[in-house]
Amino acid sequence: MVNFAIFYSATFPFLRDRLNRTGTYMLHHKQLYGIISLILLISAPTLVAGDIYRHIDSQGRVTYSDTPSTDAHRLQINAQVKRRLYQVEKVYDGDTIMLEGGLHVRLLGVNTPEIQSRVRSEEPGGIAAKEWLQKLLKEQTIFLEHDEEKKDKYKRKLAHVFLPNGKHVNLALLENGLGTLSIIPPNLRYANKLIQAQQHAEKKKLGIWGMPEYQPRSIAQISDHTSGWRRFTGSPVGIKVNKKYTRLIFSDKIDVRIANANLKLFPEISTYVGKPLEIRGWVARSKDHYTILIQHPSSLIIKRNIQD
């Protein structure tokens, strides 16, 4: 017998309320999994299921909850994600497209080099990424899958893009070396897969990874490389903390900053001090001070030595 107590508030509040009013249900395992499967089957077209954890107490009683506890195990439950089919109208660049009705979409998890515009200069690899995406999406319909944040500050939809055959476009850009990781919390869906895709391209020196413009430079030369996404190497000598940021200090004029709200994603910051690092991102300058904002550990890599 199973003491069935699912407090599935994020996805199934109606079930939570039912359980709170009537107490616990006593069900056999097969009945339990049948109910969960039926709920997911009914809800899959419109809902994304959260996690369910299974715990067995000292008396052998089994409880289920949406909150992890000591010795609890997460159930592997597959639920479909709500997706809608769209027609692609235009490709602006390697990571931005326009859909039917003028809907602008920025691909999540990836950044491609800029193309020439009124406000930006062309960057190496920008045209190649745009042309690859144009060829892939020509007369194509796509599915959008959102993460925690639905829009960016420019009011563009943020999404993972999938072809009807299941191809993950964001991942494919990284896998072919046409762009670089740009993982920005709280949008962490597919982060591990995207990291693996970039590692594949980097190992094979595909696309930008083989271009001289994107090879790592010493962070001491940062004043010569302040435009666009760049790679730097160096070893931090200390840490400074204020209300908003924790900073790895490389010199009195150079630091890497991490928002304190994102520190939970990183290893203990002190582990970076004195280690050879590769830092990936965009340089911001204030007078003679340079800083790079790092939002995910994938952009702050500990190397065995500075040549790695």
pLDDT (tens digit per residue) in 137-165: 999 999 999 999 999 999 999 999 999 99
With 60 as the cut, is the pLDDT of residue 114 above it?
A: yes
- Cβ neighbours of residue 153 closer than 8 Å, sequence gap 6 or more: none
The domain made up of 84-209 has a fold known as OB fold (Dihydrolipoamide Acetyltransferase, E2P) (2.40.50)
CA dist., res. 27 & res. 18, Å (int): 15
> What average pLDDT does this structure show over 189-214?
97
pLDDT reported for residue 68: 76
- CATH number of the domain located at residue range(s) 216-302 in this protein: 2.40.50.140
pLDDT reported for residue 62: 65
pLDDT reported for residue 116: 87
The pLDDT confidence band at residue 221, using thresholds 50, 70 and 90, is: very high
Q: Do domains 84-209 and 216-302 have the same CATH topology?
A: yes
φ/ψ of residue 134, rounded to 5: -60, -45
User: For a pLDDT cut of 90, what percent of the chain falls above it?
Assistant: 66
> What average pLDDT does this structure show over 78-105?
87
pLDDT reported for residue 76: 59
Residue spans of the domains in the chain: they are 2-74, 84-209, 216-302
pTM for the full predicted model: 0.73
- Could you report the per-residue pLDDT of 40-68, keeping only the tens digit for each? 443 443 334 456 667 676 655 667 676 77
Q: Cβ of 201: how many Cβ atoms within 10 Å?
A: 21
- Could you report the per-residue pLDDT of 245-286, keeping only the tens digit for each? 999 999 999 999 999 999 999 999 999 999 999 999 999 999
